[in-house]
């Protein structure tokens, strides 16, 4: 089965998710500078989520470029990832409105960890489908970055109940680590 | 007439439908665990509808892969299916807010049965267009799964007025049956 | 300039418009049959607008299939059509809420007439670009159906201030006339 | 890396942005002509923003048509542009509701200047990637139109605090200047 329709559908869903978050940016109640400035935490949360969704799209783009075919179960693993990505706007809106409250900050972390898990499942299924000698298998390697991110999210979720600001710093640092496009795939593709 | 623009348009509409439902996931009023937990029925309804729309996309993907050309009437049969899919977020929101009330649960079933009907009409028109010896004709066969689903939805609609929870169990079971990707097409395509 | 990105962008915008209208289908206030039944006019308005937007997509599909290249001004003529299509959900929501009030019914007609005008401009520019002997020039012919629709909308706008129901009947009849896919293009494409 | 998925994703996001703005066109409270007429400033702001987003899509279309490959950093420069485009509906809604207030009018200008900056960064990275003798390098030239637009937006932001109406006239004039499709690329592509 060709991968074209899967990537096109993923692009559509991700494009909508990334754009729909802006709807949570509600217009200020007045035209005063104070009301605009009060939006800063919401705006920064939106920037963070935009970056996360963009990272997923970029990495998905790289990963699927190294893949030749997809199967029925892979379609479902991709749907599972899209499901958790589609929950990001909800978590963004809640944390944006309550930017230092424990539960929204922890919930944001839970959504991130579910996305990371769904992405890893998709990756493993793609690797198994292409075989151990495939470009993608070599490209993904031991996935240290993915494993450490997962642990970092878990730590942030626990931290959210004591120091929400520290949890948010972790979300920011992990995003910055991933911001750099994945050189593993590119290296493997060149070497392959 | 080529099928490419039809599948691209379908992908676009389905991507929007599946994503737009998340807008119904309204942020809790407070940051308490109680308010988050109170969202569970709405969240589970969203998961169910996401799964249904994903099943339709997956089956549509498989079915159209077995098709060579489309006609004007087929474009309209596809539009008819998209129409009923676009009503799913409405039914989801209503049942999500009133998760044990008879009428919303029955309405959800009516929307499912209209989707199943629209899908069957599209399938029959595609089979007629490709001819009795085509890959799709052999793949679709007698469509027992489709027929039984239709009857199950009809039973659930009636049940909703007496035991809403039983109707919802039926919706869940039918979704689980369809969750397994359609082996008929794949078998026929391989055999063809 | 190739037409592929223009058709893909058009598909995206139309997919969003046709789906976004469903957001206007607000969940009933209660779970009573009366409140569900009270939605009937809104629902029927939604069906009508869905049909109109689907007709535009279908005819756009046929028209662009008969075209080889597009120019900068054609991109803008297409954007102009997309603009007026994007106003359809607004007109639908207003008429849906006030289904027998003169001004919303007339406004709906104004939006339809602007869409018809934008479509005609696009068609004329495509015909001029392809030349008088092209498939599209022969296919479009004298465009009697387009001209009569335009006059019918104009009559309906005037009628809306005296007999809103009569205006709505006209909107319905014109939609039914266009529902039949455009045989002009198909005939010309076969003859060409 | 091929550019196809980048342009497809961009098309998706821009299609959503341009359509989602219509959601800000809230249905009038009554069916009176006065309430409809009161929407005029909001409607005109919507037309202006639609035109700006359409201009960006058109120019992006032309620019990418002159490009052969994209890199990881270019993907991010494109995401950065999409981010600022996705803020346009917010700025549109705020200025539409408060059409002569200093801060919303200035904020609209800030969003325009950020979009212009993001577009320039993307252009410079594409030019550097393709090399000084490429079609796009010759096409973009010294980018006088871009530079003057940037200065005009800056002037409008300052003006917004004294004469909001003058700032809006500048936004309108710059849009009209860009409305004409970019002949630099087309000339260079022909000459190339």
pLDDT (tens, 9 = 90+) of chain A, 192 residues, equals: 678 888 889 999 999 999 888 777 888 888 888 888 888 888 999 999 999 999 999 889 888 888 888 888 899 999 999 999 999 999 999 998 888 899 999 999 999 999 999 999 999 999 999 888 888 887 777 777 888 899 999 999 999 999 999 999 999 999 988 876 556 655 655 554
| B82 pLDDT more than 50 | yes
CA angle D16, D171, C84 (to 5 degrees): 40
Instruction: Give the span between the Cα atoms of C148 and D29, in whole angstroms.
Output: 34
The predicted pLDDT at position C192 comes to 42
Mutate to test the interface with A, among B10, B26, B27 (most CBs of A within 10 A): B27
- Once rounded to an integer, what is the mean pLDDT over residues B133-160? 86
Question: Which residues of chain A lie closer than 8 angstroms to D72, CB-CB?
Answer: 58, 181, 186
pLDDT tens-place string over residues A54-69:
999 988 988 888 888 8
Burial of D29 (0-12, 13-18, 19+ CB in 10 A): exposed
The predicted pLDDT at position D81 comes to 97
Give CA B74 to chain center in angstroms.
18
For chain C, the helix, strand and coil percentages under 3-state DSSP, each to the nearest 5: 80, 0, 20
Q: Which residue has the tokens 């990537």?
A: A7
pLDDT band for position D119 (50/70/90)? very high
CB pairs under 8 A between B and C: 69
| D1 pLDDT more than 70 | no
Does the beta-carbon distance from A58 to D73 stay under 8 Å?
Answer: no
| C31 pLDDT more than 90 | no
pLDDT tens-place string over residues C112-134:
999 999 999 999 999 999 888 88
E-strand spans in A98-178? none
In this structure, what DSSP letter does residue D31 have? S
pLDDT band for position C135 (50/70/90)? confident
Question: Which residues of chain A lie closer than 8 angstroms to B186, CB-CB?
Answer: 72
Residues in chain A: 192
Q: Say if residues A138 and A75 touch (Cβ distance below 8 Å).
A: no
In this structure, what DSSP letter does residue A181 have? -
- Once rounded to an integer, what is the mean pLDDT over residues C12-19? 91
Does the beta-carbon distance from D20 to A25 stay under 8 Å?
Answer: no
pLDDT tens-place string over residues B5-52:
888 899 999 999 998 887 778 888 888 888 888 888 889 999 999 999
Mutate to test the interface with C, among D49, D54, D59, D85 (most CBs of C within 10 A): D54
Instruction: Give the span between the Cα atoms of D77 and D68, in whole angstroms.
Output: 16
Q: What DSSP string runs through B78-103?
A: HHHHHHHHHTHHHHHHHHHHSTT-HH
Does the beta-carbon distance from B181 to A75 stay under 8 Å?
Answer: yes
């Amino acid at each position: 089965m060709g991968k074209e329709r899967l990537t096109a559908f993923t692009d559509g869903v991700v494009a909508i998710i990334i754009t729909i978050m802006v709807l949570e940016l509600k217009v200020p109640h007045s035209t005063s500078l104070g009301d605009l400035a009060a939006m800063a935490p919401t705006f920064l949360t939106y920037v963070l989520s935009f970056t996360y969704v963009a990272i997923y799209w970029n990495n998905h783009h790289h990963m699927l470029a190294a893949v030749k075919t997809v199967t029925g179960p892979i379609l479902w693993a991709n749907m599972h990832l899209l499901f958790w990505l589609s929950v990001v706007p909800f978590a963004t809106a809640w944390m944006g409105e309550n930017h230092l409250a424990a539960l929204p900050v922890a919930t944001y972390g839970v959504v991130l960890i579910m996305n990371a898990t769904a992405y890893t499942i998709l990756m493993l299924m793609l690797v198994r489908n292409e075989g151990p000698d495939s470009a993608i298998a070599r490209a993904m390697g031991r996935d240290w970055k993915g494993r450490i991110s997962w642990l970092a999210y878990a730590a942030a979720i626990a931290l959210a109940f004591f120091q929400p600001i520290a949890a948010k710093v972790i979300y920011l640092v992990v995003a910055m680590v991933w911001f750099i496009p994945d050189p593993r795939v590119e290296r493997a593709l060149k070497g392959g």
